[in-house]
Structure 1
Amino acid sequence: MLFMDISTWAPEHREDILKHFKEIRPPAGIHVVNQWLDLTGGRFFILYEAESSEAYAAFNLPWSDVCTIDSVPVMEAIDFIKHMAEHGLKF
């Protein structure tokens, strides 16, 4: 399943965030599609696929001490439209 995470942190956690970026690698079961930084600071966006809830937890829990993560399950629009049509629903 695909997830779009938006991580935010307070300015005083900047050094902790940089340390995490240098040390933490995605665990098995996580495939990172792409990642972006908010150029104004304080936010990070990442799109990734998680193979299981265990992989998802292993990926996000190490960050819980330095930032807040808003995690949203997502699907490409074309796939959503196809899924709706397969179930007789109009979009």
Structure 2
Amino acid sequence: MLFLGISTWQPENSDKVIEHFKKLRPPAGVNIINQWVDISGGRYFLLYETDDPKAFAEFNLPWSDICLIESCPVMESTDFIKLMSQKGV
């Protein structure tokens, strides 16, 4: 399943966040597809895939001391439209 993670942090935590990013190694079961940084500051976007709830937690929880992390399941819009069409919506 695909997830879009959005991490936000306070400016005073920027140095800590940079250190975390330098050490970012996804656990087995998490595949990072792409990642982006908001160049105006304070946000990071991550598209990743996992079907393992333990790997999901292991990947996200270590950041909770310095970031607010929102991760939501996503799918490509064409796939979503196809799915909804099949459901009669």
TM-score interval (norm. to shorter): over 0.9
Displacement after TM superposition at 1:24 (Å): 2.5
Structure 2 Cα separation of the partners of residues 51 and 28 of structure 1: 11
User: 2:87 aligns to what?
Assistant: 87
Return the TM-score normalized by structure 1: 0.92
Once residues 81 and 52 of structure 2 are traced to their aligned partners in structure 1, the CA distance between those partners, rounded to angstroms, is 24
CA shift digits 1:42-83 (9 cap, x unpaired): 100001111211111011001001100111111101111111
TM-score, with structure 2 as normaliser:
0.94
Determine what percentage of the aligned residue pairs are the same residue.
56
The answer as to 2:42 corresponding to 1:37 is: no
Matched residues in 2 for 1:24 and 1:43: separation?
Answer: 16
User: What does 1:1-91 correspond to in 2, within 5 Å?
Assistant: 1-89=1-89
> CA separation in 2, counterparts of 1:25 and 1:51?
17
Q: Which runs of 5+ in 1 are unaligned?
A: none
Deviations 1:11-65 (CA, angstroms, capped at 9, x unpaired): 1111110111111201111111110000101100001111211111011001001
Cα distance in 1 for partners of 2:40, 2:24 equals: 23
Please state whether the residue corresponding to 1:44 is helix, strand or coil. strand
